[in-house]
């Protein structure tokens, strides 16, 4: 017997007898591979928001990263309001934790508002957005979700959702007045985005981006490669598919809503095979980031959401 045959037969015998306490287990199925060897679909991330819905103490980012790794995601998107520390040592520790878990820090969701007649207020929010861009850069995150902001005439978010995201302007103003404020404010954020290599993703959230027409009016006015669109599958509450089709060509990041257990504020019956087809038509190859927004426990609902998204976005 040659040395090579002896080693091979010894290794086979050891594995068969459970040597070193290792038990035989069935190998996980390999993901489908195309003839060209290219990746078979979109990477799937999860927002830390999926584990915390603004109720009670924010769940720590470290815990969310651990959960995302255990559940089998490809990336983690950080909801900025969950950040408990911002020192460089802490930020680098998050990067290391994600790397060891085999995860990419794929996005940062920031909150700001430029929808105000007060120039000083807009200036403060420009500075806040630039700080978010620099935070993303420190974390190695390539994109930051940005909003137009809201008029603030609703009593709270619950009232806004009761009104299907529609909010009246401030007395004496109309929506048309707000577009120049938002466009000018985002324009002032773009130099920082370019310097840091971070793409801003204007989301179809509320405010002036509640409709595809409003969002695209702002996006197209700026003509910048550093401003894209964060397409949110759950923020067009009526006729979502034709509206998603309108903004899909500009998508640089995707938020995918699920509602297991019933929605916290509302619930949509979304056809993700259809949504995936819309994005595939535009050759969108970026992250699809889960935003679980249901009442079921995240420990069961988030893995179910991942499985569903894997099926829809593998092709």
Interior/surface letters 189-202, b for 16+ CB within 10 angstroms, e for the rest: bbebbeebebbbbb
What phi, psi does 22 have (nearest 5°)? -85, 125
Over range 188-203, report the average pLDDT. 98
Centre a 10 Å sphere on the Cβ of residue 120 and count the other Cβ atoms it contains: 8
This prediction has a pTM of 0.87
Q: At what angle do helices 175-196 and 119-139 cross, to 10 degrees?
A: 30
Where do we find the tokens 């020192």?
Answer: 87
All structural domains of the chain, each given as residue ranges with its CATH number in brackets, are: 39-312 (3.20.20.150)
Q: At what angle do helices 61-71 and 88-100 cross, to 10 degrees?
A: 10
pLDDT in tens, 200-220: 999 999 999 999 999 999 999
Question: What's the distance, Cα to Cα, between the start and end of the chain in Å?
Answer: 47
Nearest to 217 by CA among 202, 200, 236: 202
The answer to whether residue 75 scores a pLDDT higher than 60 is: yes
227 forms beta bridges with 200
Nearest to 290 by CA among 39, 107, 140, 85: 107
In whole angstroms, what is the distance from residue 151 CA to residue 96 CA? 39
314 forms beta bridges with 41
Q: Binning pLDDT at 50, 70 and 90, where does residue 70 land?
A: very high
* DSSP, residue by residue, 80-120: GGG-----HHHHHHHHHHHHHTT-EEEEEE-------S-HH
152, exposed or middle or buried, with CB in 10 Å at 0-12, 13-18, 19+?
middle
Six token digits for residue 102: 């085999």
Centre a 10 Å sphere on the Cβ of residue 141 and count the other Cβ atoms it contains: 23
Q: Binning pLDDT at 50, 70 and 90, where does residue 26 land?
A: very low
Write down the pLDDT at residue 5.
Answer: 40
Write down the pLDDT at residue 36.
Answer: 62
Q: Could you tell me where the DSSP H helices lie in 223-286?
A: 240-247, 272-281
Given a contact cutoff of 8 angstroms between Cβ atoms, the answer to whether 305 and 258 are in contact is yes
Nearest to 104 by CA among 138, 129, 69: 69
Given a contact cutoff of 8 angstroms between Cβ atoms, the answer to whether 179 and 218 are in contact is yes
In whole angstroms, what is the distance from residue 311 CA to residue 315 CA? 8
Q: What is the average pLDDT value for the chain, to the nearest integer?
A: 89
CA 312 centroid distance within chain: 17
**CA 9, 13, 17: angle at the middle one, nearest 5?**
175
pLDDT in tens, 241-286: 999 999 999 999 999 999 999 998 899 999 999 999 999 999 999 9
């Amino acid at each position: 017997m040659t040395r090579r045959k002896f080693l091979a037969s010894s290794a086979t015998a050891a594995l068969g007898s459970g040597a070193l306490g290792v038990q035989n287990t069935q190998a996980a199925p390999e993901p489908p591979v195309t003839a060209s060897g290219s990746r078979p679909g979109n990477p799937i991330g999860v927002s830390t928001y999926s584990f915390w819905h603004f109720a009670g103490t924010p769940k720590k980012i470290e815990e969310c990263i651990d959960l995302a790794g255990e559940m089998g995601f490809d990336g983690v998107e950080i909801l900025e309001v969950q950040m408990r520390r911002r020192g460089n040592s802490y930020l680098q520790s998050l990067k290391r934790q994600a790397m060891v878990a085999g995860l990419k820090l794929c996005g940062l969701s920031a909150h700001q508002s430029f929808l105000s007649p007060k120039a000083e207020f807009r200036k403060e929010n420009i500075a806040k957005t630039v700080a978010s861009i620099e935070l993303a850069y420190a974390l190695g995150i390539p994109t930051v979700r940005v909003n137009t902001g809201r008029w603030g005439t609703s009593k709270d978010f619950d009232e806004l959702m009761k009104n299907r995201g529609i909010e009246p302007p401030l007395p004496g103003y109309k929506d048309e007045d707000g577009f120049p404020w938002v466009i000018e404010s985002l324009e002032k954020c773009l130099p920082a985005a370019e310097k840091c290599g971070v793409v801003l993703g204007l989301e179809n959230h509320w405010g002036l981006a509640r409709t595809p027409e409003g969002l695209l009016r702002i996006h197209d006015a700026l003509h910048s490669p550093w401003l894209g669109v964060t397409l949110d599958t759950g923020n067009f509450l009526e006729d979502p598919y034709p509206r998603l089709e309108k903004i899909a060509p500009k998508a640089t990041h995707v938020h995918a809503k699920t509602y297991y257990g019933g929605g916290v504020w509302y619930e949509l019956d979304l056809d993700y095979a259809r949504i995936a087809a819309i994005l595939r038509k535009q050759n969108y190859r970026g992250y699809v980031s889960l935003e679980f927004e249901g009442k079921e426990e995240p420990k069961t609902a988030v893995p179910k959401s991942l499985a569903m998204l894997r099926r829809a976005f593998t092709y």
